[in-house]
Structure 1
Amino acid sequence: MRTLSRPHRQVLFTLGMIVATMGPTAFVAFTAWQVNRPGHRHEVEAELGRQLGLKVTLEGVRYPRPGTIVYTGAVLWQREPRREKQLVEVARADSLKLSREGRRLVLRAEGLALAAEGPRHAMDQVGELLSRAAADEAWDHVAVSADSCAIDLGDGLHYDLRDLAASFRIDAGAPTVEASYRVVTPSGSANRCELVLVRDRRGNEPETILTLRTAEGLPLPASVLDSFFSSADWIGTEAQMLGELRLARIGAGDWRASFSGELIDVDLATLVSGRVSEHRLDGLAHLVIDEAEWGPQPVGPGSGWRSVSGELRAGPGAISSGLLQALQTEMRFPLAERFQLRQTSTSFDQSIPFRDLGVRFAIDSDGSVHLAGALGDTFEPGAVMIEPDGLEPIAYAPASQADVFGLRRTLGPVDPGNAVLVPADPALKFIDYLPQGGGDQSEVIRAN
Structure 2
Amino acid sequence: MRTLSRPHRQVLFTLGIVVATMGPTAFVALTAWNVNRPGHRHDVEAELGRQLGLKVTLEGVRYPKPGEIVYTGAVLWQREPRREKQLVEVARADSLKFSRDGRRLVLRAEGLALAAEGPRHAMDQVGELLSRAAGDEAWDHVAISADSCAIDLGDGLQYGLRDLAASFRIDAGAPTVEASYRVITPSGSANRCELVLVRDRRGNEPETILTLRTAEGLPLPASVLDPFFSSADWIGPDARMQGELRLSRIGAGDWRANFSGELIDVDLATLVSRRISEHRLDGLAHLVIDEAEWGPQPVGPGSGWRSVSGELRAGPGAISAGLLQALQTEMRFPLAERFQLRRASTSTDQAIAFGDLGVRFSIEEDGAVRLAGALGDAFEPGAVMIEPDRLEPIAFAPTGQADVFGLRRTLGPVDRRNAVLVPADPTLKFIDYLPQGGSARSEVVRAN
TM range (shorter): over 0.9
Letter in 2 for 1:270: T
| Amino acid in structure 1 at the alignment position of 2:105 | L
Instruction: Please give the residue correspondences for 1:249-268 in structure 2 after superposition, counting only pairs within 5 Å.
Output: 249-268=249-268
Letter in 2 for 1:111: G
Shift of 1:397: 0.4
Cα-to-partner distance string for 1:148-180 (whole Å, 9 max, x where unaligned): 000000001001000001111111111100000
Secondary structure of the equivalent of 1:300? Answer: coil
Match of 1:279 in 2: 279
Aligned residue runs from structure 1 range 53-132, under 5 A = 53-132=53-132
- Supply the distance in 1 between the matched residues of 2:65 and 2:258 (Cα, whole angstroms): 48
Compute the displacement of 1:343 (Å).
7.2
Shift in Å, 1:425:
3.1
Q: Indicate how the Cα distance of structure 1 residues 387 and 194 shifts in structure 2: closer, same or farther if over 3 A, else same.
A: same
2:91·2:113 contact (CA, 8 Å) conserved in 1?
A: yes
After TM superposition, the structure 1 = structure 2 runs for residues 4-403 of structure 1, keeping only pairs within 5 Å, are 4-340=4-340, 347-403=347-403
The separation in 2 between residues aligned to 1:347 and 1:422, in whole angstroms, is 23
Q: Give the whole-Å Cα distance in 2 for the aligned partners of 1:32 and 1:230.
A: 54
**AA aligned opposite 1:373:** G
Aligned to 1:442: none
RMSD (Å), alpha carbons = 1.4
1:18 is paired with a residue of what secondary structure? helix
**Deviation of 1:346 (Å):** 5.4
Counterparts of 2:139 and 2:418, CA distance in 1: 60
Alpha-carbon distance in 2 for matches of 1:281, 1:310: 19
Cα distance in 2 between the residues matched to 1:433 and 1:45: 47
Q: Deviation per CA, 1:386-441, whole angstroms, max 9, x where unpaired? A: 1111110011001011011111111120356878646533221100000008xxxx
**Which residue identity lines up with residue 204 of structure 1 in the other structure?**
N
The 1:110–1:313 alpha-carbon spacing in structure 2 relative to 1, beyond 3 Å, is: same
Identify if the C-alpha distance between structure 1 residues 402 and 144 changes in structure 2 by more than 3 Å, giving closer, same or farther: same
Kept after mapping to 1: 8 A contact 2:413/2:421: no
CA distance in 1, matches of 2:346, 2:224: 42
Q: Which moves more between the two structures, 9-18 or 33-42?
A: 9-18
Distance 2:86 2:342 in 1: 65
Q: Which has the higher contact order (CA 8 A, sep 6+)?
A: 1
Residue 405 to residue 195, structure 1, CA distance change in 2 (3 Å): same
Say if 1:405 and 1:421, in contact at 8 Å, map to a contact too.
no
Aligned equivalents of 1:422 and 1:137: distance in 2? 60
The one-letter code of the counterpart of 1:59 is E
Asked whether the equivalents of residues 422 and 432 of structure 1 are also in contact (C-alpha less than 8 Å), the reply is no
TM-score, normalised by the number of residues in structure 1: 0.95
1:361–1:370 Cα contact (<8 Å) kept: yes
Instruction: Output the CA distance in 2 between the equivalents of 1:423 and 1:287.
Output: 29
CA distance change for structure 1 residues 44 and 415 in 2, over 3 Å: closer, same or farther?
farther
Contact residue 321 and residue 341 of structure 1 kept, 8 A: no
Residue aligned with 1:371, SS: strand
CA drift at 1:383: 0.4
The alpha carbon displacement at 1:33 in A equals 0.4
The alpha-carbon deviation at position 345 of structure 1 amounts to: 8.8
Instruction: Give the direction of change, closer, same or farther, for the CA distance of 1:159–1:417 in structure 2 (3 Å limit).
Output: farther
**Aligned letter for 1:358?**
G
Q: Secondary structure, in 3 states, of the residue corresponding to 1:265?
A: strand
TM-score normalised by the chain length of structure 2 = 0.95
8 A contact 2:321–2:346 mirrored in 1: no
Q: Which amino acid aligns with 2:50?
A: R
For residues 170 and 431 of structure 1, the distance between their equivalents in structure 2, rounded to whole angstroms, comes to 43
> Equivalents in 2 of 1:253, 1:353: separation in Å?
46
Question: 2-side partners of 1:277 and 1:175: how far apart?
Answer: 49
One-letter identity of the residue aligned with 2:232? A
Equivalent residue letter for 1:223: S
Give the percent of matched residue pairs that are identical in Structure 1 and Structure 2: 90
Residue 335 of structure 2 contacts residue 395 of structure 2 at CA under 8 Å; is this kept in 1? yes
State the shift of 1:309 in Å. Answer: 0.1
